[in-house]
Structure 1
């Protein structure tokens, strides 16, 4: 736990307001599209490990925060940032050891030829920059994306995010974008079989043909290595090999969006794409890379990076600054030294087994799926029809919050429990969660 006593004069300078006052001030002065979680929003004032604390000191187990990857306020990460901030923070036009050390450490976790690093401030920036790289390399504009995917909030990424452009306020599918069906083997067009992955992968051929019919060549295929907004899906075996082969044959490049799922969350793999036996042309990272500090990254091949050298400088004022790199290095240290990838594998397997046991006893859980500490439990009204049960899923989330366990829902029908806690999540934490969920499912 971090000792904040020396910081109290600074922390106490901000007036402490009631939840109602904060909500009113948010409504009056902040972006009106900002949302809050839960029917009765929480005021969270402190975090430690897998726990969040409200203004009254009540602890809540955080089951949904994949940003604070190695735990809220991990002392090692906080100290790294504090020490570097007290010494220097500047930009990449000055030489500094931290950025080159981080590039060396990061690329050592990736397969060859992924060896050229660009640092950004977020996953959105990373995905946006990756689009520029892909277009510079291929001289094409078209992009294939998976239905219900989300790749960021910049204008270019909203265009690549069916989760946004097909929802309220969205402007629909742009002419340069092709959308393929989500490889959902529970409720999708191809159910669980040895061929489902390749069947879904073959859909890219017709999507690229549709783009060609509009005189749009394919520059890139964007795909999360595990599907987040789509409902916590693990890609079926053979999906990415089939999809990547089709894209490469058409002259495009393949991007693995690891913004939510990289850095050991997948348990068996440091990068979730490794589970498909492929090597992407571009990998993008965000969220867990800095454990809550704003940093993102793009890693690509020397050939693609060379295509980006056109005479126009790529400069990002804060991308790759010494403080961000010190924090990101500390995150890598913690993952390795505390064996958190192995923890994600072991505790994730325990959670999946426990959820499948609950599935056998509670008929509304239609499907349980996941990898490492990236897990979904889908609620349905009927096991035969697999009709989604959004109401039940939402009720479970609210009931779990009343028991001081924080969850959320995801998926096109918002009926999937989203389970992705910090990867310091222990077996004891998992046992508490499963016991609480069992109580809630029995009572609701």
Structure 2
């Protein structure tokens, strides 16, 4: 409370006279809302309790609502940012109002706990008067861990302003002076390649290439060797897959999240490569940030190239000796050697490279600073830490990963036979084991795909597929031993009398061929199929797919198809132990239905596990009956 009171007195009170004033409701919280009766799409249609209405600073209205919106959540700042965004969309907030919002939120929380203490003494029997005390204290503790300026930058971002108000000044200076900068690493005489280490990077390849430091080092060396390069640069704003394991998972308001957005520029070169100060400055801090995937030895310089413009340059993954040659407060000259690239494990256990990051606001930190950010906070962090490519003198092209752009291009270029899932489609760029990863590195447990039978991108499967494709990839009209070996291995898993394999390219082709074989053998096209079954996108497959002909745009079962109930023991017609036999009776009824119409069924088709029907395992005895 002392911390927030000092902040309020020193930074907020002096600004209040310049702020807009109005009559405020001043009590927006969940206990005062009237909500429509629809649980599916509830809407706030009124408020109660106008006892706190007051003529005061307009921004207080938002501060009070925000204080309650941040309660009970692991990430109060982003919850409050959503409220600020919505408020601004209806009533424009001024920049000077945003600068005091963090402090006003804490002021409201202090009033809440103070009133609760007073009421606890004077009206101990009234439990409602204590309802907000604990969540308010909990939020105050979380709020104190958030730097006021970072909250300010987040609020500016969601209102459409440039998040860090220092960035414009820095970019103007950089535009006028970038040609005068001395490169942080001397690259003349070296071939420098642009290195893509994003989540979907094809040169980075399989997760097994970077899950182990020795393999990661070999991976980087191989990439450089393939391009005949001795250095590589990249990484600013890149969404990377290195922090997407359980060890780096954080539970936030919308579930699990990972810090995947890289805030600096990486230059990959041999250990021992000299590193220079790009312009005059002083050593702000030195620190060995130990541990895997950390910075290792780190130097932060402070620069003031002109009065009023102060920024910082972080040098990470250095050699241990680098910290012996500098001390905090030491002045350095432009072009002066300050460090060397380190080697693993001292450098944070990374392949040798320099992490270089420009920082416009240290946010009260020293020695260490975030080098990666959560995707939903990326724009704020990238404003605080603008691109530092100019300090290397090496231009690097950007990439367009905008999901809206990709969706528009997909709609324009691709046919309607390829559907897309979800109201907000996922931009998936990587798979590994049981997970899929979107372009921002968010990990999804894959319970949908029916292709990756041994997990996504199994290293052994990838290896043999790449080996074979590097030698021969053609059709089956020639003799080759692999197709024979595959057929033999497959048949060993099947019971007699199954003794021949029909190889095709897809499930649709497999079922189409099976239906043609039924017709060739029996002379009948008539089939019995399961409710909600889906067997492929050919005409014959659709004729036996209830999921298609009974779904949106379908025309119902054709004359040649009889549909029987799905044998679902959980939600279906029969749920007893003998449900397999009871569901099988419907197949007998379907046969009779055909006979009554003067037809004979050629066959019966169903999935071994019902997929579109809901991942349903057939009950015991169903197929045999």
The TM-score with structure 1 as length reference comes to 0.50
Number of the residue aligned with 2:536: 152
Cα deviation for residue 106 of structure 1 reads 0.1
Quote the Cα distance in structure 1 between the aligned partners of 2:404 and 2:451: 27
Structure 2 contact 401–439 (Cα < 8 Å) conserved: no
Quote the Cα distance in structure 2 between the aligned partners of 1:82 and 1:42: 27
Number of the residue aligned with 1:136: 520
Query: Larger relative contact order (C-alpha < 8 A, sep ≥ 6)?
Result: 1
Give the secondary structure class of the aligned counterpart of 1:137. helix
Which of 47, 53, 72 does residue 431 from structure 2 map onto?
A: 47
Distance 1:50 1:13, change over 3 A: farther
Q: Which has the larger radius of gyration?
A: 2
Cα deviation for residue 234 of structure 1 reads 2.1
Quote the Cα distance in structure 1 between the aligned partners of 2:474 and 2:523: 34
Distance 1:149 1:56, change over 3 A: same
Which of 599, 602, 605 does residue 216 from structure 1 map onto?
A: 599
Number of the residue aligned with 1:265: none
Q: 1:13-412 to 2 correspondence within 5 Å?
A: 16-32=400-416, 34-190=418-574, 192-242=575-625
Distance 1:80 1:174, change over 3 A: same
Give the secondary structure class of the aligned counterpart of 2:465. helix
Quote the Cα distance in structure 2 between the aligned partners of 1:159 and 1:59: 37
Cα deviation for residue 134 of structure 1 reads 1.4
Cα deviation for residue 14 of structure 1 reads 11
Number of the residue aligned with 2:195: none
Give the secondary structure class of the aligned counterpart of 2:551. coil
Structure 2 contact 527–561 (Cα < 8 Å) conserved: yes
Distance 1:34 1:194, change over 3 A: same
Distance 1:14 1:37, change over 3 A: farther
Quote the Cα distance in structure 2 between the aligned partners of 1:131 and 1:22: 38
Quote the Cα distance in structure 1 between the aligned partners of 2:518 and 2:553: 28
Number of the residue aligned with 2:79: none
Cα deviation for residue 52 of structure 1 reads 2.0
Quote the Cα distance in structure 1 between the aligned partners of 2:397 and 2:587: 55
Cα deviation for residue 174 of structure 1 reads 0.9
Number of the residue aligned with 2:69: none
Distance 1:161 1:14, change over 3 A: farther
Give the secondary structure class of the aligned counterpart of 1:218. coil
Give the secondary structure class of the aligned counterpart of 1:185. coil
The TM-score with structure 2 as length reference comes to 0.36
Per-residue deviation, residues 148-199 of structure 1 (Å, max 9, x unmatched): 1111111110110000001111122111111111112233322x22332111
Cα deviation for residue 15 of structure 1 reads 5.7
Structure 2 contact 431–456 (Cα < 8 Å) conserved: yes
Gaps of 5+ in 2: 1-206, 210-218, 228-395
Quote the Cα distance in structure 2 between the aligned partners of 1:137 and 1:14: 59
Q: How many residues align?
A: 240
Quote the Cα distance in structure 1 between the aligned partners of 2:466 and 2:398: 21
Per-residue deviation, residues 52-90 of structure 1 (Å, max 9, x unmatched): 222222333323333211111111111111111111122
- Over the aligned positions, Cα root-mean-square deviation in angstroms equals 2.5
Quote the Cα distance in structure 2 between the aligned partners of 1:124 and 1:154: 6
Number of the residue aligned with 2:311: none
Number of the residue aligned with 1:335: none
Cα deviation for residue 224 of structure 1 reads 1.4
Quote the Cα distance in structure 2 between the aligned partners of 1:166 and 1:122: 23
Quote the Cα distance in structure 2 between the aligned partners of 1:150 and 1:55: 30
Quote the Cα distance in structure 1 between the aligned partners of 2:589 and 2:223: 59
Distance 1:28 1:14, change over 3 A: farther
Distance 1:204 1:41, change over 3 A: same
Structure 1 contact 2–73 (Cα < 8 Å) conserved: no
Distance 1:239 1:13, change over 3 A: farther
Structure 1 contact 42–54 (Cα < 8 Å) conserved: yes
Quote the Cα distance in structure 2 between the aligned partners of 1:98 and 1:213: 50
Quote the Cα distance in structure 2 between the aligned partners of 1:162 and 1:185: 19
Per-residue deviation, residues 123-170 of structure 1 (Å, max 9, x unmatched): 111011011111111222211001111111111101100000011111
Gaps of 5+ in 1: 243-444
Distance 1:226 1:63, change over 3 A: closer
